[in-house]
Amino acid sequence: MADASNGFIDNVQLIDNEKVYDKSIVQSGTVLAFDFGERRIGVAVGEHLISSANPLTTIDSESNDVRFAAITDLVTEWQPKLLVVGLPLSLDGSETEVTKLCRKFARRLNGRFNLPVILIDERYSSAEASQLLNETGIKGRAQKAMLDQVAAQTILRSYFDSLQ
């Protein structure tokens, strides 16, 4: 679990194998957030200084090569100082097979990009994203294209909220 002295709360975990996390650098830079799924990965982008979070794209592939090529392009374009990954837990907080795959994905992000990765509890993020889309008039099947990236936006907002 993340340490409260670093400004984190209990439902947030830091992966930083190379010990590159520097709070002053991270909290003045761009953040990419990911809603991990076995088929699709939603991506959002945000800025620490103003706690903004915006949906960015959905990577729709089961191939790790395709996924990481797309993520490499996003990291190159946005130059984030931190990556945030939503950790899918069951409703009772226990881990599932997808949780294990998500942890592996987060470790790979840290290893490939040498950026600190925050794992944050993402329970209800897809439901919240669906509700947000409903409120904007996007309903049913029309949500499919945007749901994962809006879920990533919700995850990023949760991360920013955890810092306050």
pLDDT of residue 27: 86
Phi-psi region of 126 (alpha: psi -120 to 50; beta: other; left: phi over 0): alpha
pLDDT at 2 over 50: no
* Most confident listed range (36-40, 94-98, 136-140): 36-40
Check residues 24 and 142 and name the one with the higher pLDDT.
24
Q: How far is CA 28 from CA 6, 42, 50, in A?
A: 15, 23, 9
- What is the domain extent for residue 36? 18-162
Residue 42 scores a pLDDT above 50: yes
Which CATH number is 126's domain given?
A: 3.30.420.140
List of residues 6+ apart from 57 with CB closer than 8 A: 42, 43, 70, 74, 149
| pLDDT exceeds 60 at position 1 | no
146 and 154 Cβ atoms separated by less than 8 Å = no
Provide the number of structural domains found in the chain.
1
**pLDDT value, residue 82:** 96
In a domain, 6, yes or no: no
**Is 12 contained in some domain?**
no
Asked, for residue 143, whether it belongs to a domain, the answer is: yes
C-alpha distances in Å from residue 49, one per residue of 29, 31, 85: 7, 10, 19
What is the model's pTM? 0.84
Rounded to 5°, angle at Cα 43 from 55 and 114: 135
Q: Which two tokens stand for residue 111?
A: 């290893």
C-alpha–C-alpha distance, residues 85 and 90, integer Å: 16
**What is the average pLDDT score of the chain?**
84
Per residue in 62-77, pLDDT (tens digit) is 999 999 999 999 999 9
Query: Average pLDDT in the 41-69 region?
Result: 94
On whether residue 73 sits in a domain, the answer given is yes
The mean pLDDT value for 147-164 works out to 89
Asked whether residue 134 is domain-assigned, the answer is yes
Ordered strands of the 52-60 beta sheet: 12-15, 117-121, 82-87, 30-35, 40-47, 52-60
Residue 9 belongs to a domain: no
